[in-house]
Amino acid sequence: MSTHPWWQTTVIYQIYPRSFQDTSGNGVGDLPGITSRLDYLSDTLGVGAIWISPFYKSPMADFGYDVADYTSVDPLFGTMNDFDELLDEVHARGMKLIIDWVPNHSSDEHPWFVESRSSRDNPKRDWYTWRDPKPDGSPPNNWVSAFTGPAWNFDETTGQYYLCTFTTKQADLNWRNPEVQEAMLADLAFWLDRGVDGIRVDVAHFVMKDPELRDNPLVEGEPVINTKDHGEYDLYEHIYDKGHEDNHALYRDVRALLDSYQPERFSVGEIYIADWREWASYYGDLDELHLPFNFSLLWAPWTAAGISGEVNAAEAAIPPGGWPSYVLGNHDNNRIATRFGEEQMPLAAMLLLTLRGVPTLYYGDELGIPERYIPPEQQLDPHGRLLPGAGRDGCRTPMQWDSSAHAGFSSDGTETTWLPLSDDWSDRNVAKHLDDPGSLLNLYRRLLAYRASSDDLQTGDYTHLEAPEGCFAYRRGDLTVALNFTNEELVLQFGGSVELSTYPDDEATPGRLRPHEGIIIK
């Protein structure tokens, strides 16, 4: 029996609920749809945990990341009974369910905000951040929305601005008010009491801000380039509008709440911080978040040196006893098949599933679904509408199950799906991939099965190994993993026998790597 808690040895699969499976015929995915596909996740694929992006009541200004009631299910996605059934069925298959928790902001349609905006002396006024305009009528400070434009919205009724770090329909909660803390943790406990196994914390480091709301300084020199163009947002050093040290006390409280449950409940935080020390501070003394998501592989150059540099930096930054995590794709970034190139997908799969720590796999990346181009004027995503080029619709297209109408995502009679399918869905889908022994999906299945049976991969130490240029090699316990990032053959000096190769034939050897080949050697 492993002495490691479940979350350390699991593989997380992220589901964007609008896009996984539609059972109601309206072209939008729903909770019963996820339930209907659980066998795929547990048996066909073999992941251990599912993280579902928000399904709570919401006006969908940011497709659910604008929550109007934290303890509800939006009718678009189903009912609370549907949720309970999903949770039961996940547990019946020995899997875990992680839900999204969005503490930084609520929808402006949340009853708390409706009250708060109703008058300056409403008891909930201070649940959000309200400030007078500057004498010239402009916003209280220079903070910019992560989606571009001012992070403040003027409210005519009471003549003040409220803080909104994302869209104007997402009002930042004031976590410095103890009543907010109490209400939010009570809403979180609602789900923990229902039996959810963990939470993914949305923009975890944004929650606490500078209490004096000081202006952010401008970036000196070149702004740090992310995978998306964030326009105006990247012009500032975000030292006052997020990342305040008081976040740590908050996550200690969240952790205490999670730890008060048996069996163990888990948290993973969305922490987009490039500075390793600051990033790692969210582990606390292992008393804050169980894991901060590590997004560094999304930004690194796709070369052996680029990727190994990030992995080594993460390993060095994580506090003793802390556990790593890796992400190659999610609902906010361009699809990896398009970012790295199709021929790199097998290598990416082996990388993700052989590093030390918890891998998170984004739905559809096991098929190599490419980014779908959606022109700015057709973008539904608020970020894409505000900032052409930043749109995220292209990585949120419906899951591709088979070659029937709507790729099996929606029923035949459905008029149209909420986003179009990616172009190659009739060839690239689960049914077709299952029939092809050399498919990416079958490689994912082999890797997941191997990982599930290997203590070395699940919990073994990580050591970076010397290897020819272009090859990233590491030891995991008694195993060696060697990844060729080049399109040339590379000669290796490793002994042993090949356990698994990203090539579907039997010709892999520990003495050489074919172009873009990855191997696991014992």
Which residues contribute to the site for ligand NOJ (CB under 6 A)? 62, 65, 102, 166, 202-203, 270, 331-332
Shortest distance, position 105 Cβ to ligand NOJ, whole Å = 7
Shortest distance, position 369 Cβ to ligand NOJ, whole Å = 18
The residue whose Cβ lies closest to ligand NOJ is 65
For residue 423, report the phi and psi dihedrals to the nearest 5 degrees: -60, -35
Using CA atoms, how far apart are residues 506 and 225, in angstroms rounded to an integer? 41
CB-wise, 148 or 303, nearer to ligand NOJ?
148
Active site annotation includes 202: yes
Shortest distance, position 104 Cβ to ligand NOJ, whole Å = 7
CB-wise, 90 or 201, nearer to ligand NOJ?
201
Strands (E), 70-158: 96-101, 105-107, 130-131, 152-155
What residues form DSSP beta bridges with 481? 474, 520
**Residue 164 near residue 150, CB atoms below 8 Å:** no
Catalytic residue among 30, 100, 202, 517: 202
CB-wise, 102 or 314, nearer to ligand NOJ?
102
- The DSSP annotation for 441-491 comes to HHHHHHHHHHHHT-HHHHH--EEEE---TTEEEEEETTEEEEEE-SSS-EE
Active site annotation includes 436: no
Using CA atoms, how far apart are residues 120 and 105, in angstroms rounded to an integer? 19
Sign of CA dihedral 3, 259, 462, 100: positive
User: Both tokens of residue 187?
Assistant: 């809403």
* Eight-state DSSP code of residue 57: B
469: left (phi over 0), alpha (psi -120 to 50) or beta: beta
Shortest distance, position 45 Cβ to ligand NOJ, whole Å = 23
CB-wise, 21 or 145, nearer to ligand NOJ?
145
Shortest distance, position 342 Cβ to ligand NOJ, whole Å = 25
Catalytic residue among 82, 100, 241, 270: 270
CB-wise, 241 or 332, nearer to ligand NOJ?
332
Active site residues: 202, 270
